[in-house]
Structures are given as C-alpha cells and as structure tokens.
Amino acid sequence: GENVEQHPSTLSVQEGDSAVIKCTYSDSASNYFPWYKQELGKRPQLIIDIRSNVGEKKDQRIAVTLNKTAKHFSLHITETQPEDSAVYFCAASKDRGSTLGRLYFGRGTQLTVWP
Amino acid sequence: DSGVTQTPKHLITATGQRVTLRCSPRSGDLSVYWYQQSLDQGLQFLIQYYNGEERAKGNILERFSAQQFPDLHSELNLSSLELGDSALYFCASSVAGGLGEQETQYFGPGTRLLVL
C-alpha cells in the first residue's frame, strides 16, 4: 500500500514569514494530493489539492507543488498569520473506477505562528 | 460547514458495550469513507462505501462493521468496545462520477468516542 511521510512534525514561524511542509509518497500510481488543516477538536478542512497532471497550484497565500519523479509534494504558506496555527495533514490517493479512493495521510505538522 | 453531518457529537460508554455512529453525506455524494483519529495512530482509513456497496477496507477491526443504506447515509457499528477504541471518528463523502477533476473528500465534524 501507499506510505506517506510528512516533515517536519512541528514548525514555528513568526507572523509574516513563510512556512513550508514537505511530504513524500511511495506509490507511483497515486494521482491526487490534498492538504487538510485541522484545528483542535475540529474536522480536517481541505485547503488545497493538486492532481498529478499539474505541477503547481496556488490559492492566495497557499501553494502546493508536486514532483512526480521524486514522489514528493509540498505546501507553501506565505505571509503567515496567527490564525494559520493548526495541524496540517498531507494525503495521497488514487482514483478507483468511478470514485476517489481512500486517503493515505501523513502524520501531520503542528504549525504555530507567533504574533 | 462541509455539508457532511455526523451524530452523535460525543459518546461516552463502557468497555464491552456496542455503539453506532451515523453519517449523512453531502447531497448527491455516493461515496462515504470512515476514518479513525487517535493520538498514536493519526488519521487511519477504516472503510469506504460507494452507492450502498463496500468498496475498500482498511485497518478495520473485526469488532467494527459498517453499512450504507439506500438513502446513502452510513452507520459505523463498534462492538465489544475496548479502552483503545477511544478516538475521533470521522466520515467523509465525495462526489462521484467520471473521475471528475472536482472530486475530493469533505469531512464531517466527527464523533468523539470515550470508552471508560
């Protein structure tokens, strides 16, 4: 099965700085890579995703890059704000017939943004 | 609000008991996924249903079972509960059809289970 590794496990940055979280995956058949933000006790919330036919995707202060050859993808948050503080999870999946397959999650990164 | 609903929000029970967790997917979503989140195991996939049929199984214990009903809501049954089953249980749903570029998984608010 798929194995997703995520680094770092904790990340502290000053408000306004950038934050980068990196993930690697093992199954070259994986073709869908979402990122979720989870605040304490809340549900994982999708913040951005990328499919394997695209190398980079951006949404305001958040961007994701994908390197299929190296089997790694990264989340970039610019101009961080205290409300960005949360646990971020990367995941990998592949389509199964007519629907999306299960998500394989990384272990999460606790991001803390200091004012 | 993702549009996925789960009940109950909290559940406290004793070892050896049986509980049922309920999930209603977003309107029109055919797939339902169940995940367990604990501190030591992270987010673990349990099982997926698609339009009433089991589609994929993960590390789901034999004491656990699930089903998806004709109206597409799903239930996760946990029996002979142990202390280690205490966790957050999430369901997610996804849009189906044509391997759409729009398809993704949206999570419900979760059920927090505490086994005493």
- Per residue in B31-90, pLDDT (tens digit) is 999 999 998 778 999 999 988 999 889 989 999 999 999 999 999 999 999 999 999 999
Give me the residues paired with residue A95 across strands: A100
Q: Among A41, A102, A104, select the one facing B48 at the smallest CB separation.
A: A102
| A54 min Cα distance to partner chain B (Å) | 11
Q: Would you tell me how many other CB atoms lie within 10 Å of the CB of residue A69?
A: 7
Predicted pLDDT at B1: 83
Query: Given pLDDT bands bounded at 50, 70 and 90, which one contains residue B100?
Result: low
Confidence at residue A112, expressed as pLDDT on a 0 to 100 scale: 98
d(C-alpha B12, C-alpha A113), whole Å: 34
- Cα B60–Cα B65–Cα B66 angle in degrees, nearest 5: 110
Q: Does B94 touch chain A (CB under 8 A)?
A: yes
DSSP string, A38-105: E-TTS--EEEEEEETT-SEEEETTEEEEEETTTTEEEEEE-S--GGG-EEEEEEEB-EETTEE-PPEE
Amino acid at B36: Q
Instruction: Mutation target for A interface from B2, B48, B89, B99: give the one with most A CBs within 10 A.
Output: B99
Tell me, what's the pLDDT at A80? 98
Q: Could you read off the pLDDT tens digit of each residue along chain A, which spans 115 residues?
A: 889 999 999 999 999 999 999 999 999 999 899 999 999 989 999 999 998 888 999 999 999 999 999 999 999 999 999 999 999 999 999 876 666 788 999 999 999 999 9
Asked if the Cβ–Cβ distance from A45 to B2 is below 8 Å, we say yes
Is the pLDDT at B99 greater than 80? The verdict is no
Q: With H, G, I as helix, E, B as strand and everything else as coil, classify residue A3.
A: coil
Task: Give the angle subtended at the CA of A73 by the CAs of A67 and A77, to the nearest 5°.
Answer: 125
Contacts of B113 (CB under 8 A, 6+ apart): B11, B13, B19, B21, B78, B85, B86, B87, B88, B89
From the list B58, B96, B112, which residue is nearest A102 (CB)? B58
| Number of Cβ atoms within 10 Å of the Cβ of B57 | 12
